[in-house]
Amino acid sequence: MRALVWEGPRALALREQEPPAPAPGEVLVRVTYAGICGSELGAYLGHNALRVPPLVMGHEFAGTLAAFGSAAAARNPNLREGQPVTVNPLSACGACAYCQRGDSHLCAQRRLIGAHRPGAYAEYVVAPAETVVPLPDGMTAREGALAEPVAVAIRIGAMAGAVAGEPVLIAGAGPIGLLALQVLLLHGAGPVFVSDLEPARLAMAAELGGSPINVGREDTAQAVRAATGGVGVAVSVDAVGATATRAACVAATRAAGTLILSGLHEEVGPIPAADVIRRELVLRGSFAYSPADFMAAVALLAERGVRLDPWIVEADLAEGGPWFERLVSAPGGVAKVLLTP
C-alpha cells in the first residue's frame, strides 16, 4: 500500500509498505479521506514531542471496513464489512477512574492513532473495534472525516460554559477556530470575535457569523475592548498555541473571565501570569474530546449543524508534502485539506 511517512522536520515521503493486519480486537479500515490537522503541522515542523519519526501520521479520517480481527465483532457488534465508518483515534485502558467517568481522553494510558501507532495517511489503517463509529445514513465519508476536529470544537464549547449573550474571542481562524466559532454560536454566544493574520481565513470566519480582527492591522485586545465598552470578553479561546496568541487572549479577557488553551503550536512558552492573577482569570486546558463529545460531533455533522465547505480541498496522498508546506506558510482560502489514499 502507499503511505505518507514523516521522516523528520519538513520531510515527508511517499513509501510502499505492507498493509497492516488487525489484531484480534481490531479492524482494518480502507481509508477514504484523512485530514491534515494543526498538531500534525506542528510535528512536521519538529514542534510536537508526542510524535516521533519515522511515522505515518493522520488521525482525522473516514473509510470503509475491510477486515476484522478474530475478536472484533464481539467488541463492537454494530460493525460489518464494507460499512462506511469514522474512527475515534483515541483509545484508553477502560478501567481507570477517568475512563470509568467517561473522560477516557485523560487516561494516562491513552494512545492516539497517528502518534503512538501508525495513522491514516495510508491506504489502510487498523483501529480498536470499540473506537469505530458507523456513519449515519446520508453522511458522506467527506463529512465523517471531520468528526474528530468537530469533537475538539464541541469540547471547547463545553469548557466555555454558559456563554449565551456573552462576547467571546477565538484566536486563530484555522479549522478548530472556525469549528469552535460555529459551536459557540450554537450555544448563543455573541459577538464572537475571531483574530488571525490571514485575510482569506478571516473572510471564512465572517461568512460563518464571526466578527473578524486582522492582527496585522490592529491589536486584538484593543479591538475587543473597544467593541465591548472597555470590558473585554467573557471567554477567550486560543486555537493557535503561540506566545503571542496566548498573551492576546489574556489581555482581551475581562476580569474573572475564562481563557481556554487549546492550540499546541508551542508546547512551552511564557504567559502573562501577573495579569492572570490580578484579574483572577480562569485558565482551562481543552484537550481532545471525550467519547461522548465524539458521538455528539457525528450527530452534529449528520444534522449539518457545522461545516467547513466550501473551503475543503481534496488532494491525492502523493500531494501531501506540498500541502503541508503550504499550510505552514500561506494557507490562503483553505480551511481543511483531506488527503485521498
- Residue 281 maps to which CATH number? 3.40.50.720
pLDDT at residue 265, as a whole number: 81
What is the band of 269 on the pLDDT scale with cuts at 50, 70, 90? Answer: confident
Q: Name the residue among 87, 91, 96 with its Cα closest to residue 112.
A: 91
pLDDT at residue 86, as a whole number: 98
What is the band of 49 on the pLDDT scale with cuts at 50, 70, 90? Answer: confident
Q: How far apart are CA 166 and CA 189, in angstroms?
A: 5
Give pLDDT tens digits for 289-336.
Answer: 999 999 999 999 999 999 999 999 999 999 999 999 999 988 889 999
pLDDT at residue 46, as a whole number: 87
Instruction: Indicate whether 115 belongs to any domain.
Output: yes
Instruction: Indicate whether 299 belongs to any domain.
Output: no
- Rounded to 10 deg, the angle between the 147-160 and 291-302 helix axes is 110
Contact indicator for 193, 260 with CB cutoff of 8 Å: no
Q: What's the whole-number mean pLDDT along residues 163-188?
A: 97
Q: Using a pLDDT cut of 70, give the percent of the chain over it.
A: 100
Domain co-membership, 249 together with 190: yes
pLDDT at residue 47, as a whole number: 82
Q: How far apart are CA 137 and CA 20, in angstroms?
A: 28
pLDDT at residue 188, as a whole number: 98
Q: How far apart are CA 157 and CA 310, in angstroms?
A: 23
Domain co-membership, 214 together with 184: yes
Contacts by residues 326-335 (CB-CB < 8 Å, ≥ 24 positions apart): 327/36, 327/41, 328/41, 328/44, 328/45, 330/198, 331/174, 331/198, 331/200, 331/201, 332/198, 332/200, 333/200, 333/201, 333/203, 333/204, 334/200, 335/174, 335/175, 335/178, 335/201, 335/204, 335/308, 335/311
Domain co-membership, 206 together with 76: no
Contact indicator for 202, 172 with CB cutoff of 8 Å: no
Domain co-membership, 136 together with 90: yes
From the CB of residue 337, how many other CB atoms can be counted at a distance below 10 Å?
22
Domain co-membership, 128 together with 155: no
Q: Name the residue among 339, 338, 305, 311 with its Cα closest to residue 154.
A: 305
What's the domain count of the chain? 2
Q: What's the whole-number mean pLDDT along residues 249-261?
A: 98
Instruction: Indicate whether 80 belongs to any domain.
Output: yes
pLDDT at residue 99, as a whole number: 96
Contacts by residues 91-99 (CB-CB < 8 Å, ≥ 24 positions apart): 91/127, 91/128, 91/130, 91/131
Tell me: pLDDT of 48 over 80. no
Domain co-membership, 259 together with 159: yes
pLDDT at residue 250, as a whole number: 98
Domain housing 265: 151-285
Give pLDDT tens digits for 98-107.
Answer: 999 999 999 9
Domain co-membership, 173 together with 126: no
Mean pLDDT over the full length of the chain: 96
What is the band of 234 on the pLDDT scale with cuts at 50, 70, 90? Answer: very high
Domain co-membership, 166 together with 179: yes
DSSP state, residue 281 = P
Q: How far apart are CA 125 and CA 9, in angstroms?
A: 23
Domain co-membership, 7 together with 76: yes
Q: What number of CA atoms fall less than 13 Å from residue 248's CA on the CB side?
A: 28
Q: How far apart are CA 145 and CA 31, in angstroms?
A: 10
Give pLDDT tens digits for 110-137.
Answer: 999 999 999 999 999 999 999 999 999 9
Cell of 330: 500561506
Domain co-membership, 36 together with 167: no
- Residue 60 maps to which CATH number? 3.90.180.10
What is the band of 220 on the pLDDT scale with cuts at 50, 70, 90? Answer: very high
Cell of 229: 465598552
Q: What's the whole-number mean pLDDT along residues 68-79?
A: 95
What is the band of 262 on the pLDDT scale with cuts at 50, 70, 90? Answer: very high
Domain co-membership, 6 together with 140: yes
